[in-house]
């Protein structure tokens, strides 16, 4: 097994394609060598070696030693130096490098190879004892921490981390020596410090700091491997969804020094502006410094060039000004790299006494705006083709382009007074209000407000609509507040557990911050932060190239994208975002959040009816409202399908919760409030999510379904008469047995025949289908398909039932599940492909067995999640449906899935 790959001197054993084996850093170092770029020589120990190392219980494979020694000889030859040599010693770094970038998550050891033998040689060679002793004390500090303590698992005697102890010792020494900065320490000081550090290491960890360069090297390699399973790395992988099995490579590379004086420097750059996408070289650098100094942000770095100058750094000299030749060389490298990679790159370089070295290059991270602009620019520049352009924008990044955001430069300097979950994108600012009523009042008074609640419920919806943003103390990413807010593309932060709301005092407290109603706060719904005061935002100006890009996207997209919309105006909005129909129209929406409105009043009256006859009479009064809502939506989506889901929520959701509202209702209905309380009590359920809802209501009260179905058919008939082309689809929710569909179909058939008879129409084109959101319906999908012409996976409920997770209650354990790696991701955010996905696959297959052309879509929250969209594409779905603001995201994700997985 070949575990070691060398690079350097214009050649390398690997190249950029070997990322899986060499890690990103190693593969790109090899690639740069092939491009004749100045790369310090070295070698990469593969990720396969890391995996084997862990498989063997933390032991190096037997064949590794000779391979490393051979590679070291080759590196020495290329660099013209010798590792551990008493005359011309080579020093090396040991750096991690996984397949996918995990910045700062794993450990690095620099200056490896400094010892009692090599130090004098280095001093002789560099004539810079201060530099050498400083490098040595850095090695001791890093090595003791990373290798001896963390990787080799030693406990310091005092129980405090060795790094911290040595840092403190350094500070004390400076204090004694009356120095304010490291640079004031002399070579002698640093030598003295290094010696005392070594004593300290021995005392604390019980073993001496190794003086043998080979021992140092093996320690460094092992430490990098072990850092793959360090706490930080594991939790980063959890967030980014990187598999544990990948492992990291180790890059052992000849040290070059940017801190050898004023002709030395170090810097990082992007080949194009990562924030805007502009085609200008963008970077920062520091003279006489090591790489970590740029990242650490202790000194304000210099601008790379004029293009990079800004208010904070324009008093500092650019590389372009100070080292024009080196800058020119770097510009040449930029061009070579962009041409080779056909993408924007993020590079690291070091200048050692006037000589430029490339230490890293990789595809650079970028904002959504930048991604879009670069994709379109590079397409125009013919660097990439159309498919590549479509693949260049992360679907989720489109969010940025569609919502106003907090100015990131300003936000950097702010401390949130509370943090929660990022539930609705963008930013919002306004005065604090604590009730839906106050939000509505504030809206009417033209005072933007933020609705701050323990959690929200359907009665708050009007207030949520009126507020600029929503902040809740409880609830997760799929709580009521989060669902509603994302549906509207409204800024929302949920589950900010630190919030203590006192409705009585009209105050909210988080830590030491106490705010009252009327105080202004600002939310960043993309991050989940809340700030005191009005913070500046960047307007949601639509990138002029957005439309062009989306047209390109649709060229490759094969799967349909519909929207979840409950009102004619949402339908119209979604159509502008490119929705090709409505995948989910919640017929109950018209009843939400309008306590004073007629439809809700009538619905409540219906719920409180004592008999079928009474219920039918109220339904007749409700009918015109239902019909007008449905007709207007069909009109807004004229020519496109509109899926109407029959009444879904349990009836008790509509009984007023507050005493006041109950009293009003009792008065309006002319009944005793006790009647309302009694009915509310009777309808109460232990687990309403699995209670009397969906088609179960239709079975108990067929007259409700009948009224809704009649409203759909009559609306369609009237539109046909007016020359329109309505495409209604009737969807039965919460089904678990085909007999529920048979039951519903009887009602539909009867109403259909009746409407035809009354209108004289020969036919109305419509489809009957079902939600698949209960595991049993998925398992018995062949039966369901005997009636259903389409399936729409309700992935929210399907996920709830498949996991046995109530989405309102995952707050108690979801964090533990993610942190302890029981789950890789919250299944309410992205489809659980192994479990829920298996049910979807079973259902799709069984459905197609019975009805080969059955239309299949999803309408859960995950319809707008790119990974889920890709999954749906692979399942051969007809469409996905998501909230209006996520329609463009789904379009991009669907196009990318088609490019990646479609028939070639």
Both tokens of 595, joined, read 């306590």
Nearer to a copy of itself, 403 or 615 (CB): 615
Contacts of 98 (CB under 8 A, 6+ apart): 23, 24, 47, 106, 228, 242, 246, 247, 248, 249
Work out which of 214, 632, 720, 779 binds a copy of itself, going by CB under 8 A.
779
Tell me the closest approach of the beta carbon of residue 503 to a copy of itself, in angstroms. Answer: 14
Phi, psi torsion values for 740, nearest 5 degrees: -65, -35
Nearer to a copy of itself, 259 or 479 (CB): 479
Window of 112-120, 165-173, 533-541, 690-698 that interacts with a copy of itself by CB under 8 A = 690-698
Contacts of 520 (CB under 8 A, 6+ apart): 429, 430, 431, 432, 532, 533, 534
Residue listed under structure tokens 């990789």: 362
Nearer to a copy of itself, 260 or 844 (CB): 844
Report if residue 805 touches a copy of itself, rule: CB under 8 A: yes
Window of 56-64, 173-181, 425-433, 694-702 that interacts with a copy of itself by CB under 8 A = 694-702
Tell me the closest approach of the beta carbon of residue 581 to a copy of itself, in angstroms. Answer: 27
Tell me the closest approach of the beta carbon of residue 797 to a copy of itself, in angstroms. Answer: 7
Of the candidates 38, 119, 27, 42, the one whose C-alpha atom is nearest the C-alpha of residue 77 is 42
Distance CA 753, CA 762 (A): 10
Work out which of 123, 396, 691, 759 binds a copy of itself, going by CB under 8 A.
691
Catalytic residues: 480, 859
Distance CA 283, CA 307 (A): 9
Report if residue 496 touches a copy of itself, rule: CB under 8 A: no
Work out which of 17, 821, 900, 901 binds a copy of itself, going by CB under 8 A.
821
Q: At CB < 8 A and 24+ separation, what contacts does 621-625 make?
A: 622/707, 623/707, 623/710, 623/711, 625/590, 625/598, 625/599
Of the candidates 305, 333, 309, 329, the one whose C-alpha atom is nearest the C-alpha of residue 319 is 305
Tell me the closest approach of the beta carbon of residue 690 to a copy of itself, in angstroms. Answer: 4
Nearer to a copy of itself, 97 or 458 (CB): 458
Distance CA 131, CA 257 (A): 10
Report if residue 158 touches a copy of itself, rule: CB under 8 A: no
Tell me the closest approach of the beta carbon of residue 502 to a copy of itself, in angstroms. Answer: 14
Window of 517-525, 533-541, 574-582, 693-701 that interacts with a copy of itself by CB under 8 A = 693-701
Window of 294-302, 356-364, 773-781, 882-890 that interacts with a copy of itself by CB under 8 A = 773-781
Nearer to a copy of itself, 625 or 743 (CB): 743
Contact 581, 637 (CB under 8 A): yes
Both tokens of 431, joined, read 């005065």
Tell me the closest approach of the beta carbon of residue 828 to a copy of itself, in angstroms. Answer: 12
Residues in the chain: 904
Nearer to a copy of itself, 377 or 653 (CB): 653
Q: What's the 3-state SS for 4-35?
A: EEEEECCEECCCHHHHHHHHHHHHHHHHHHHC
Nearer to a copy of itself, 257 or 592 (CB): 592
User: What three-state secondary structure class fits 620?
Assistant: helix
User: What three-state secondary structure class fits 96?
Assistant: strand
Tell me the closest approach of the beta carbon of residue 816 to a copy of itself, in angstroms. Answer: 5
- Pairing state between β 500-502 and 405-406: unpaired
Distance CA 221, CA 109 (A): 9
Report if residue 611 touches a copy of itself, rule: CB under 8 A: no
Tell me the closest approach of the beta carbon of residue 855 to a copy of itself, in angstroms. Answer: 23
Nearer to a copy of itself, 309 or 509 (CB): 509
Nearer to a copy of itself, 45 or 839 (CB): 839
In the region spanning residues 824 to 843, those forming contacts with a copy of itself, defined by CB under 8 A, are: 832, 834-836, 838-839
Report if residue 502 touches a copy of itself, rule: CB under 8 A: no
Of the candidates 698, 716, 719, the one whose C-alpha atom is nearest the C-alpha of residue 707 is 698
* DSSP summary character for residue 210: P
Work out which of 822, 849, 900, 901 binds a copy of itself, going by CB under 8 A.
822
Tell me the closest approach of the beta carbon of residue 897 to a copy of itself, in angstroms. Answer: 24
The pattern of x and - marking residues 665 through 684 that bind a copy of itself according to CB under 8 A reads ------------------x-
Distance CA 206, CA 229 (A): 24
Distance CA 568, CA 738 (A): 32
Nearer to a copy of itself, 251 or 479 (CB): 479
Total binding residues toward a copy of itself, as defined by CB under 8 A: 48
Nearer to a copy of itself, 692 or 848 (CB): 692
Contact 131, 194 (CB under 8 A): no
Window of 89-97, 380-388, 609-617, 800-808 that interacts with a copy of itself by CB under 8 A = 800-808
Window of 93-101, 185-193, 357-365, 813-821 that interacts with a copy of itself by CB under 8 A = 813-821
The per-residue DSSP string of 140-173 comes to HHHHIIIIIIIITTPPPTTSS-HHHHHHHHHHHH
Tell me the closest approach of the beta carbon of residue 585 to a copy of itself, in angstroms. Answer: 22
Report if residue 169 touches a copy of itself, rule: CB under 8 A: no
Distance CA 751, CA 766 (A): 13
Tell me the closest approach of the beta carbon of residue 501 to a copy of itself, in angstroms. Answer: 13
The pattern of x and - marking residues 731 through 770 that bind a copy of itself according to CB under 8 A reads ---x-xx-xx--x---------------------------
Report if residue 800 touches a copy of itself, rule: CB under 8 A: yes
Report if residue 685 touches a copy of itself, rule: CB under 8 A: yes
Q: What's the 3-state SS for 419-474?
A: ECEEEECCEEEEEEECCHHHHHHHHHCCCCEEEEECCCCHHHHHHHHHCCEEEECC
Work out which of 687, 762, 852, 904 binds a copy of itself, going by CB under 8 A.
687
Q: Which value, in Å, is the radius of gyration of the alpha carbons in the chain?
A: 33
Work out which of 204, 653, 797, 870 binds a copy of itself, going by CB under 8 A.
797
From residue 344, how far is each of 275, 337, 373, 408, 895 by CA, in Å?
12, 9, 11, 21, 22
Both tokens of 201, joined, read 């290491």
Work out which of 776, 825, 850, 874 binds a copy of itself, going by CB under 8 A.
776
Window of 266-274, 547-555, 711-719, 819-827 that interacts with a copy of itself by CB under 8 A = 819-827
In the region spanning residues 190 to 249, those forming contacts with a copy of itself, defined by CB under 8 A, are: none
Tell me the closest approach of the beta carbon of residue 787 to a copy of itself, in angstroms. Answer: 13
From residue 282, how far is each of 271, 333, 346 by CA, in Å?
6, 14, 9
Nearer to a copy of itself, 396 or 689 (CB): 689
In the region spanning residues 695 to 724, those forming contacts with a copy of itself, defined by CB under 8 A, are: 696, 699-700
Tell me the closest approach of the beta carbon of residue 693 to a copy of itself, in angstroms. Answer: 9
Q: Give CA angle at 547 (545, 552), nearest 5°.
A: 95
Contacts of 366 (CB under 8 A, 6+ apart): 274, 275, 277, 344, 374
Report if residue 823 touches a copy of itself, rule: CB under 8 A: yes
Report if residue 806 touches a copy of itself, rule: CB under 8 A: yes
In the region spanning residues 45 to 64, those forming contacts with a copy of itself, defined by CB under 8 A, are: none
Contact 751, 646 (CB under 8 A): no
User: 363 has which bridge partners?
Assistant: 345
> In the complex, which residues of this chain contact a copy of itself (CB under 8 A)?
683, 685-692, 696, 699-700, 734, 736-737, 739-740, 743, 773-776, 779-780, 797, 800-806, 808-809, 812-813, 816-817, 820-823, 832, 834-836, 838-839
């Amino acid at each position: 097994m070949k575990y070691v790959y060398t690079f350097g001197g214009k050649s390398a054993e690997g190249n950029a394609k070997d990322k899986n084996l060499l890690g990103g850093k190693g593969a790109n170092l090899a690639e740069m060598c092939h491009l004749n770029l100045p790369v310090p020589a070295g070698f990469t120990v593969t990720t396969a070696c890391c995996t084997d190392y862990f498989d063997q219980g933390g032991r190096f494979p037997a064949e590794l030693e000779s391979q490393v020694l051979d590679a070291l000889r080759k590196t020495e030859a290329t660099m013209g130096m010798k590792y551990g040599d008493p005359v011309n010693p080579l020093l090396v770094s040991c750096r991690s490098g996984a397949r996918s970038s995990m910045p700062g998550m794993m450990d690095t050891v620099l200056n490896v190879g400094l010892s009692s033998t090599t130090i004098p040689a280095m001093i002789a060679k560099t004539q810079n004892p201060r530099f050498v002793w400083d490098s040595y004390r850095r090695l001791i500090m890093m090595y003791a921490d990373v290798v001896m303590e963390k990787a080799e698992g030693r406990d310091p005697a005092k129980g405090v981390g060795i790094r911290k102890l040595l840092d403190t010792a350094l500070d004390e020494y400076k204090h004694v020596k009356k120095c304010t900065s490291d640079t004031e320490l002399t070579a002698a000081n640093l030598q003295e410090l290094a010696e005392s550090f070594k004593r300290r290491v021995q005392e604390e960890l019980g073993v001496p700091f190794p003086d043998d360069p080979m021992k140092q090297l093996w320690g460094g390699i092992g430490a990098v491997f072990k850092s793959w399973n360090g706490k930080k790395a594991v939790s980063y992988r959890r967030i980014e969804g990187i598999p544990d099995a990948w492992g990291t490579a180790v890059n052992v590379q000849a040290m070059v020094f940017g801190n050898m004086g004023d002709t030395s420097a170090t810097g990082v750059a992007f080949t194009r502006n990562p924030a805007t996408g502009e085609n200008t070289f963008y970077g920062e650098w520091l003279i006489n410094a090591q790489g970590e100094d740029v990242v650490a942000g202790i000194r304000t770095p210099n601008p790379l060039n004029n293009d990079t100058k800004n208010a904070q750094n324009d008093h500092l000299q650019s590389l372009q000004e100070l080292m024009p030749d080196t800058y020119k060389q770097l510009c040449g490298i930029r061009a070579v790299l962009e041409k080779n990679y056909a993408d924007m790159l993020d590079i690291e370089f070091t200048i050692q006494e006037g000589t430029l070295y490339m230490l890293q290059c990789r595809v650079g991270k970028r904002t959504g705006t930048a991604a879009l602009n670069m994709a379109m620019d590079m397409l125009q520049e013919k660097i990439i083709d159309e498919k590549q352009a479509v693949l260049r924008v992360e679907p989720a990044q489109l969010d940025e382009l569609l919502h106003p955001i907090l100015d990131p430069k300003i936000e950097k300097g702010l401390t949130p007074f509370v943090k929660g979950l990022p539930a609705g994108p963008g930013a919002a600012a306004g005065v604090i209000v604590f009730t839906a009523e106050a939000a509505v009042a504030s809206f009417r008074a033209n005072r933007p407000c933020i609705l701050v609640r323990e959690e929200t419920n359907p009665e708050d919806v009007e207030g949520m609509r009126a507020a600029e943003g929503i902040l809740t103390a409880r609830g997760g990413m799929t709580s009521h507040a989060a669902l509603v807010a994302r549906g509207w593309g409204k800024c929302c932060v949920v589950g900010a557990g630190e919030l203590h709301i006192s409705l009585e005092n009209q105050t909210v407290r988080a830590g030491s911050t106490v705010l009252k109603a009327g105080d202004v706060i600002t939310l960043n719904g993309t991050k989940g932060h809340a700030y005191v005061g009005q913070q500046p935002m960047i307007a949601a100006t639509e990138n002029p190239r957005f439309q062009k890009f989306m047209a390109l996207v649709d060229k490759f997209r094969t799967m349909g994208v519909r929207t979840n919309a409950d009102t004619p105006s949402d339908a119209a909005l979604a159509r502008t975002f490119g929705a090709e129909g409505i995948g989910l129209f919640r017929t109950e929406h018209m009843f939400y959040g309008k306590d004073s409105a007629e439809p809700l009043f009538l619905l409540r009256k219906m719920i409180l009816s004592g008999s079928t006859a009474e219920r039918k009479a109220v339904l007749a009064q409700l009918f015109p409202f239902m019909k007008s809502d449905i007709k207007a939506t069909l009109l807004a989506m004229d020519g496109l399908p509109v899926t109407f889901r029959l009444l879904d929520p349990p009836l008790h959701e509509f009984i007023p919760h507050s005493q006041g509202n109950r009293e009003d209702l009792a008065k309006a209905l002319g009944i005793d409030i006790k009647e309302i309380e009694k009915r509310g009590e009777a309808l109460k359920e232990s687990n309403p999510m699995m209670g009397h809802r969906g088609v179960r209501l239709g079975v108990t009260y067929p007259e409700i379904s009948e009224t809704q179905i009649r409203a759909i058919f009559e609306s369609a008939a009237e539109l046909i008469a007016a020359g329109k082309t309505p495409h209604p689809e009737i969807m039965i929710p919460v089904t678990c047995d085909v007999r529920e569909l048979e039951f519903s179909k009887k009602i539909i058939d009867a109403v259909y025949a009746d409407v035809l008879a009354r209108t004289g129409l020969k036919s109305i084109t419509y489809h009957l289908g079902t939600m698949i959101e209960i595991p049993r319906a998925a398992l018995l999908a062949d039966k369901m398909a005997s009636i259903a012409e389409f399936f729409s996976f309700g992935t929210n409920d399907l996920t709830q039932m498949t996991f046995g997770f109530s989405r309102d209650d995952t707050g108690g354990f979801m964090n533990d599940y993610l942190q302890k790696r029981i789950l890789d991701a919250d299944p309410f955010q992205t489809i659980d492909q192994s479990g829920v996905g298996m049910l979807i696959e079973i259902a799709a297959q069984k459905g197609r067995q019975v009805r080969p052309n059955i239309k299949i879509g999803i309408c859960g929250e995950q319809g707008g999640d790119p990974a889920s969209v890709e999954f749906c594409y692979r399942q051969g779905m007809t469409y996905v449906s998501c909230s209006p603001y996520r329609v463009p995201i789904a379009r991009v994700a669907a196009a990318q899935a088609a490019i990646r997985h479609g028939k070639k």
